[in-house]
Structure 1
Amino acid sequence: MDTAHASASALAPARAPAHDLTPSRASRTPTRPAAGDVHVWFVRPPRSGSVPRSPGADAGTAADSGFTAPDSGLSVAELRRAASFARAGDGDVYATAHAALRRLLGGYLGRPPAGLTFVRKPCPGCSGPHGRPAVVQTDDAPTLHFSLAHSRGLIAVAVAPRVIGVDVERLPSTGTVEACARALHTRERAELAAVPPEERQAYFGRLWTRKEAYLKALGTGLSRHPRIDYLGADLRRRPARWAVLDLPAGPEHTAAVAVDGARPDRVTVRWLPAHRHGDGPAAPDAAYGSTTDRSPR
């Protein structure tokens, strides 16, 4: 079923493939996902102010971000971006997210994180250089696609051998739901209005993360108005040629992934701790030792 959203299960294709949504132990060297697989990694960012600042650094410099290139693999541009945030906590989250992305992609591609080069695909709307991000590959292996998202308290990285988008959002407030519901598709607004008041925050969160994951996979982001595409409970009305799935992201967040083509055979979710100065190789998050398998019916 669409994970975390049982009401959509009856609308799934009769022969929909099983999905392995077991929180798995993180290996030191990830293996590239197979043709029908999707890998999703969740990372908890450091608490605001918990990332050590470089002593003696001037505010607004790359060193003041609390990360250095040898430790994190971040580029000079990424370090400057992390240092540019008005709130230190926001810069820490940005740096942690991009360091995690580099660590993971470096592991998949067999390259050092600092040696990765990122580019932007052409925008499908205007052909400008601000479409989906991509990593430059130096081998003849199939293209490895990825997507990165972060919200308060959680970072998500999705990797697949086909175009992919991921989004994660902290559960919205009641006021946010009321203010943003007008941006939904007409049918989505009707579905949201039919949900009991106590369930609307979670329901809206699932709608919105599906929508953002899909728009990121398209390469348009929110430059394409959210109300154009339907990502509600009725799977038959969702965009053709795309599979959009909810992800288990804990009690405080909703998350979704969108992939180009048929529903994936397997979606594997792993939890990875943030990497900081002096850390060794990635280790699994002990808080997610239990397993849960969910499959469409």
Structure 2
Amino acid sequence: MGTSLTPSRGTGADDTLDVRVWALPVPPPSAALDPGVLDEEERRRAAAFVRDEDRHLYGFAHIALRTVLAALTGIAPGALRFDRAPCPCCDGPHGRPVLRSAAAPEFSLSHTRGLVVIGVAPVPVGVDAEPLPKAGTAEELAKVLHPAERQEVEAASPQDRPAVFARLWARKEAYLKGLGTGLGRDLDADDVRGPLPGWHLTDLAVGPGHAAAVAVASPAPYEVRVHRGLPG
């Protein structure tokens, strides 16, 4: 890690955004976690999971997010309060999650089997992590993608299709989360194989079995600093 956790935006023409990502393996249920930092809504959502492993994954992801944001803002993890930005599709209060604190960084959270990914930036950001699906699942779900993306999946060898599809799906979900639309935007509307207007997408190396990506609202290049552990 660097000496400072605070994301910053450069002011010169050649400066780049400081984008930070935490790629965290999910610890075993026996690991010491402090669920007391979660708010009432988070505890309610955690309790609603039927499977213990899903409850543990959700709890760890949200405790990790609070730990990261506390280190960035200086606010205690349990004192952080969240709102929702307006939805770009309907202007309803269910867009990107945001911190209530003044001058707070933008952030995004993704969790899937065995992995939690957190992205933080001074501009809107989205992250997503996906497990590699079975080949048949990849071929079936590819039908809802942009035609160019679908063609890329179909052109891959059968053994490579799960990885190709998972990479595209992670990039698409990261972009839609950054926009704040989620799946309210048509999945075939955007070709995420490269940059999109006003956005850059970057693949993240998170180990075998998963694909992950970060999308940042910036037409300029940026550095991605990847951390493998929580702030101390």
Same fold (TM over 0.5): yes
1:157 to 118, 141, 144: 118
Could you state the TM-score of these two structures normalised by the residue count of structure 2?
0.91
Counterparts of 1:129 and 1:149 in 2: how far apart (Å)?
20
Q: State the secondary structure of the residue aligned to 1:198.
A: coil
Could you state the TM-score of these two structures normalised by the residue count of structure 1?
0.72
Aligned residue in 1 for 2:95 = 131
Give the deviation of 1:44 after TM superposition: 1.5
- CA separation of 1:264/1:108 partners in 2, compared to 1, >3 Å: closer, same or farther? farther
Amino acid in the other structure paired with 1:97: A
CA displacement, residues 15-57 of structure 1 (integer Å, 9 cap, x when unaligned): xxxxxxxxxx487xx521121110000121234x5468xxxxx
The residue correspondences of 1:37-186 to structure 2 (distance < 5 A) are 37-47=18-28, 49-50=29-30, 67-69=34-36, 73-138=37-102, 142-186=103-147
Contact 2:197/2:219 (8 A) holds in 1: no
Aligned residue in 2 for 1:241 = 198
Counterparts of 2:24 and 2:221 in 1: how far apart (Å)?
22
Identity of aligned residues (%): 44
C-alpha RMSD of matched pairs (Å): 1.8
Give the deviation of 1:170 after TM superposition: 1.1
CA displacement, residues 225-246 of structure 1 (integer Å, 9 cap, x when unaligned): 21111112xx3xx421110111
CA displacement, residues 89-134 of structure 1 (integer Å, 9 cap, x when unaligned): 1011101000000011011001100010000011111111100000
Counterparts of 1:50 and 1:225 in 2: how far apart (Å)?
41
The residue correspondences of 1:248-259 to structure 2 (distance < 5 A) are 248-259=205-216
Aligned residue in 2 for 1:34 = 8
CA displacement, residues 182-240 of structure 1 (integer Å, 9 cap, x when unaligned): 111111111111112221111111100000000001100011121111112xx3xx421
The residue correspondences of 1:204-283 to structure 2 (distance < 5 A) are 204-232=165-193, 235=194, 238-272=195-229, 282=232
Larger radius of gyration: 1
1:188 to 141, 149, 171: 149
Counterparts of 1:131 and 1:265 in 2: how far apart (Å)?
24
Counterparts of 1:249 and 1:159 in 2: how far apart (Å)?
17
My pick for the range that moved more, 37-46 or 262-271, is: 262-271
Counterparts of 1:267 and 1:97 in 2: how far apart (Å)?
20
Contact 1:37/1:264 (8 A) holds in 2: no
Counterparts of 1:207 and 1:263 in 2: how far apart (Å)?
21
Amino acid in the other structure paired with 1:126: C
Counterparts of 2:118 and 2:152 in 1: how far apart (Å)?
29
Q: State the secondary structure of the residue aligned to 1:172.
A: coil
Q: Which structure is richer in relative contact order (CA contacts within 8 A, separation 6 or more)?
A: 1
Aligned residue in 2 for 1:289 = none
Give the deviation of 1:67 after TM superposition: 4.9
